[in-house]
Structure 1
Amino acid sequence: MPSSISISSSTFVLLFFSFSLVSILPPLILSASVVEDLNNLHPPSDFNSTINNNCLNNPSLRYCNSSSPLDLIEIFKSTIVASHLCNESRNPNCVETFPKIDLHSRPKIAPLYLSFTFFWKYCPLTILSINLSNNSIKGGFPSDVLQCSQIQALDLSHNDLSGDVPIQGFSPLTNLTLLNLSYNHFSESRISDSQFFKRFNSSSFLRSGLVPDHQGFTIKVVVFLFGFPMFVILMVGCLGWMCIRRPDFLPAVLRGGKHKFTPAMLEAATGGFSRNNLVGKSEGVDIYRGSVRDSSQVRIEIYRDEISGEGRRRFAEECKVLVQLCHKNIVQVVGWCDNRRLRAIVTEWTEGENVEIWVARSAPPWKQRLKILMGVLEAMRYLQEQWPQVGYDLRTCSILLSKNRQPLISRFRIGDQISNTRKIYKFGTLVLEMVTNKRPREEFERGEAEFIEWIRMHHPGKVHKVIDERMKKTGNTVDQATQGIGIGLMCADLSRGWHPSFDLIYRMMCKLSDSCQVPASPDHKRSHGDRGEGHRRNQSR
């Protein structure tokens, strides 16, 4: 490297970069990274005299007009950055000219060169165009670039710049004819009041945040005027559809009644009334297992018969009563559906079997059968005292068993007011079915009437012929079963105008239940055995 530089060489450098060292830096500057060169290269020994000679020849150079003492290290580092930046900007001959800084779509290096404040402080006079667009540059306006006051074009569009634009900082840029600050996020400024910015049209500030976006505003107004009413109509339509078809999708405060089900809700709960979910079927009633939106399992009884509008109204009123029933021996009613084409009652799902299957399958002892009857009677008393208008079905096939063997009345006679006499009659029939393990409607030609006559014919002398043969017939058991049959026959006797009250039946059943808890004495067994032997002797005669 030469130890000094000639006046002619200095004049040449003035045309290029206004720095003398650019023409004498080694080739390493053009190939190594700018950061490496800034760290590794140092000014030559005659750098000071070269700078002084340059200022004598061209006093307009930026470092020559600095009010502070010359910082030779900064000026030298500027020459290094300039060499790299000239090549990065694809200038054709960086030894002779440096007309533009073009870092368009160079997001990896643009922020780096913006950080070299010393370069912008001594910005080469030959640079006429700066393009830093489409680099996603964040932060405030890069005010350092405005130190290149001789530029004619500045493009900072398509970045993420924000904050205020330094309006006064643009005043020295008297040669600026092309400006593009579009697609940024600046704070709105009164640039329209500045004489400087009046030379540029609105295309310089599209969606920059500096001026109101009239086109965008118009679009928003149009969208609002047409879109908002459509949105309201759509929302009202959706809410209307949900209110009518799927109120379970609505928030709890908008549902109106949490117990009301629609056909669409029941269809969704049962998988489209799938045969796989059909668990029972009888005259006029289909029973499905379903799952509602809160994932709870339910039992859905669908009534296929058609009723009048007045009948539907009564049905709904009675269902409003059913959802209020609360007793350990009554299935919890979840809700109902009173649609014109579908009526249904929805209750909680019980995994256990019904009493009919339980008795037929497991042949339970008399004590367990009596416990079931007492649970049913407890539920009947509750209904009689608090909800006498509610009817129910007491057949063994409609009484369910919970996991802990509690009986649950599950079928209610909606719209069919059953008299107390009829309720007591049905309980008597239930007692007789539990003792005998018979199905009156299936095993007797004339149904319940013939079934009751058959039992009355054998009671009390031949009662062992009607008691479930699988039940252990100890002396005490036969005695209590005989008493149970007597209560059942008394309840099922419709030939008289008189019928026992609920209280009387309850007292009799409680007494029978209490006696079941006391084991029979040996004398009682012996006397019962003697009596049985006497019966056999009489029969043999």
Structure 2
Amino acid sequence: MAPHSVIPLALSFFVSLSINPTLPSSLINELNQPPPPDFRAIIANNCLKDPSLRYCNSAATDITNIYKSIVVARHLCTESNNSDCNVSFTKIDLRFRPKVAPLYLSFAFFWKYCPLSVLSIDLSNNSLEGPFPSDVLHCTQIHSLDISLNKLDGTVPLENFTLLSNLSFLNLSCNHFSEGNIEEIAFFERFNSSSFLHSGLFPSDHHYGFKVTTTILLLIGVLVSVVSVVGCFGWVFVRRPDLLPSFLRRSHKFTVAMLKKVTDGFSEDNLVSRGERGEIYKGRLRDGLEVEIKVQRGRISAESHRVFDEECRVLVQLRHKNLVKVLGWCDQRELRAVVMERMWVCSVEGWLLGSPPWKQRLKVSMGVVEAMCYLQEQWPSIGYDLRTRNVMMTEDSEPLLLKLKFGDQSTQSRNIYKFGLFLLGLVTNKHPHEAFEGGEIGFLDWVSMHYPGHEKKVIDEKMKLTSTTYKQIKQTIDIGLACTDLSAGHPPTISHIYSSLHKVVHLL
């Protein structure tokens, strides 16, 4: 009787023992059981029918391992998806089974009594490690053997392959075997080079492996370097654009990280003032430029973010020697800030405490009116604050309008009125809201009460007067009162004020 007609007789016997063909735990449990009482008689009967069965020569002394081999065969047949294990067991297919394949390879008793019906063995793609599984070569009748795409190493028993006389397909590729004398064994001439590609059996494989490893390491190194550079560049671009070359910086845009760096983490040492509308900090940019930063915190609506952004885009475009220079802004979810160049040393209010000469006061008034002319002609939507505490002074005694507001609804007449108060403040060195009960009205009534006739009572007593400066001051008071005369139907224009002050400056 043919071999593969005898083995099913042995396998069918174990069906009556309710063998579970799928679970390794069930397999292990069965292997721990002793053979059935009549198992020896069944084996003897099978060997009478077919003496070529592998276990026949050992049936008398190794009955336990023979039983175990048949148990494993039954499970492995089903595990390998054979069509009908009650009839035939032709293939061992454990491809892509890294958890199961090592278990079945460990059953040396199975491979020793490998069923003669098995014609192909496929153990590929399992990441198997260690030496070549020599036990599989006990299946000398096989036609196909595939152990490719694993991590096997060491020496391959090449001479033992010659016992596989029916072998027509062999794949040992993609492993890490030691170099062997495979070219000297005639048996392997029946296979082409693809059977041993990158197996390690040929000298070229080791050179290739070295080249591949070197290439991969180089590629990984380059990739890591590129990713690191891109990552760092991206971090810098997003968090600290001030660290980028000037041509890569986002114009006028500041980040919270940049502001923290400039202000030393918004430290109290750099805090200038704190109020209901926010905080003001001083700091220094990387290029050494001193700045002042107005900060507002808290969430606002999307529309408010849009308005803030639009306002800042306008303010950074202003260019005049008597306007504060807005360098940029930061607009984040819970923090908004405007960054200005800090060119001033004090306010006009503080500057007047030093009793500057009239010539310098007149220069300040001209600087302010020139800034007003610039805004009126080119940026009429920009409002400003002309109180002496909010007009700053540079080291060169140039005034700077500090508080600018985009979209301010102040009319030209209102701006003229504010300038009149500023001008009279330069003459008197008085603060309308502090020195007079009636505020601005009380201040103007006080000036009007003494002028003309007793103008010396309103002129800053600390100023040294000459006949020329006295005339200039009187004309300046005239201009100031004209600007603040609300009863006049048509107040003077900014250009008229500029012309009048220009004449005062050049008065001989």
Match of 2:480 among 488, 495, 500: 488
Structure 2 residue matching 1:212: 3-state secondary structure: helix
Asked whether 1:324 is paired with 2:317, we answer: yes
**Residue type at the aligned position of 1:349:** R
Match of 1:292 among 285, 290, 297: 285
1:326 Cα offset (Å) = 2.0
Asked whether 1:221 is paired with 2:213, we answer: no
Match of 1:423 among 407, 415, 437: 415
**Residue type at the aligned position of 1:461:** G
Unmatched runs of 5 consecutive residues or more in structure 2: 1-180, 185-198
**Residue type at the aligned position of 2:241:** P
1:271 Cα offset (Å) = 0.8
1:395 Cα offset (Å) = 1.9
2:375 aligned residue: 383
Match of 2:261 among 249, 253, 268: 268
2:428·2:459 contact (CA, 8 Å) conserved in 1? Answer: yes
**Sequence identity (%):** 48
Match of 2:490 among 491, 498, 502: 498
Asked whether 1:250 is paired with 2:244, we answer: yes
Q: Give the Cα–Cα distance (whole angstroms) in 2 for the partners of residues 464 and 327 of structure 1.
A: 35
TM-score by length of 1: 0.51
1:259·1:323 contact (CA, 8 Å) conserved in 2? Answer: yes
The CA deviation string for residues 261-292 of structure 1, in whole angstroms up to 9 with x for no partner, is 12221121011112222234555253322111
**Residue type at the aligned position of 1:393:** D
Residues 506 and 283 of structure 1, relative CA distance in 2, 3 Å threshold: farther
Q: Give the Cα–Cα distance (whole angstroms) in 1 for the partners of residues 275 and 427 of structure 2.
A: 24
2:502 aligned residue: 510
Aligned residues: 313
**Residue type at the aligned position of 2:325:** Q
Q: Give the Cα–Cα distance (whole angstroms) in 2 for the partners of residues 234 and 433 of structure 1.
A: 61
1:303·1:343 contact (CA, 8 Å) conserved in 2? Answer: yes
Q: Give the Cα–Cα distance (whole angstroms) in 2 for the partners of residues 258 and 481 of structure 1.
A: 45
Q: Give the Cα–Cα distance (whole angstroms) in 1 for the partners of residues 278 and 369 of structure 2.
A: 25
Residues 283 and 442 of structure 1, relative CA distance in 2, 3 Å threshold: farther
Asked whether 1:355 is paired with 2:348, we answer: yes
Residues 478 and 252 of structure 1, relative CA distance in 2, 3 Å threshold: closer
Match of 1:409 among 401, 405, 417: 401
1:301 aligned residue: 294
1:485 Cα offset (Å) = 1.8
The CA deviation string for residues 214-236 of structure 1, in whole angstroms up to 9 with x for no partner, is 156347537857x8777776666
Q: What RMSD over aligned residues (CA atoms) do the two structures have, in Å?
A: 3.6
Residues 497 and 216 of structure 1, relative CA distance in 2, 3 Å threshold: farther
The CA deviation string for residues 395-433 of structure 1, in whole angstroms up to 9 with x for no partner, is 222222222222222221245343222221221111011
Residues 213 and 305 of structure 1, relative CA distance in 2, 3 Å threshold: closer
Structure 2 residue matching 1:335: 3-state secondary structure: strand
Structure 2 residue matching 1:261: 3-state secondary structure: coil
Asked whether 1:345 is paired with 2:338, we answer: yes
Q: Give the Cα–Cα distance (whole angstroms) in 1 for the partners of residues 298 and 454 of structure 2.
A: 44
Residues 479 and 251 of structure 1, relative CA distance in 2, 3 Å threshold: closer
Q: Give the Cα–Cα distance (whole angstroms) in 2 for the partners of residues 337 and 458 of structure 1.
A: 50
TM-score by length of 2: 0.54
**Residue type at the aligned position of 1:448:** E
Counting only pairs closer than 5 Å after superposition, residues 439-518 of structure 1 correspond to structure 2 as: 439-515=431-507, 518=508
Residues 473 and 392 of structure 1, relative CA distance in 2, 3 Å threshold: same
Q: Give the Cα–Cα distance (whole angstroms) in 2 for the partners of residues 223 and 243 of structure 1.
A: 28
Structure 2 residue matching 1:467: 3-state secondary structure: coil
The CA deviation string for residues 147-177 of structure 1, in whole angstroms up to 9 with x for no partner, is xxxxxxxxxxxxxxxxxxxxxxxxxxxxxxx
Counting only pairs closer than 5 Å after superposition, residues 174-213 of structure 1 correspond to structure 2 as: 212=207
1:147 aligned residue: none
2:315·2:406 contact (CA, 8 Å) conserved in 1? Answer: no
**Residue type at the aligned position of 2:239:** R
1:314·1:415 contact (CA, 8 Å) conserved in 2? Answer: no
**Residue type at the aligned position of 2:282:** R
Q: Give the Cα–Cα distance (whole angstroms) in 1 for the partners of residues 483 and 298 of structure 2.
A: 31
